[in-house]
Amino acid sequence: MCLTQRADLYLNCDKDPNRIAKSLPASGASKLVFGDLDPGIYVLALLHDENENEKLDTMLKIPKEGFGFSRNPAIRMGPPKYEQVRFTIAPGHNEQAVTFRYIL
């Protein structure tokens, strides 16, 4: 799981030095709590790293592992656009539900 505010790195969140990243076992919690986040625009990306190699495995550029993005955009040819996955954190309680997608 990776949470970033960087529009230019939302697909490469691990390159953002200010990201919030968490790893959980697949059988782990279905709800994550981040605590106090600064208000602003964020993107949340999830990866089910089935073989634990810390990357999204693909076949012919098609993901072989589960993935998900904030706002659950429709997945067409290629990854979703930033505008489709960004969301705003406002002061107070905020929630973002993400559904894992498996293509292969």
Residues 35-92: tens digit of each pLDDT: 889 999 999 999 999 998 988 999 998 999 999 999 999 998 899 999 999 999 999 9
Backbone torsion region of residue 92, taken as left when φ is above 0, otherwise alpha when ψ lies between -120 and 50, otherwise beta: left
* Closest to 5 measured CA to CA, from 48, 34, 47: 34
Three-state secondary structure of 61-77: CEECCEEEECCCCCCEC
Mean of pLDDT values over 17-24: 91
Q: Which of 17, 52, 21, 49 is nearest to 34 (CA)?
A: 21
Q: Is the pTM of this model over 0.85?
A: yes
What is the full DSSP assignment across 5-30? --GGGTTSGGG-TT-EE----TTS-S
For residues 59 and 37, the answer to whether their CB atoms sit within 8 Å is no
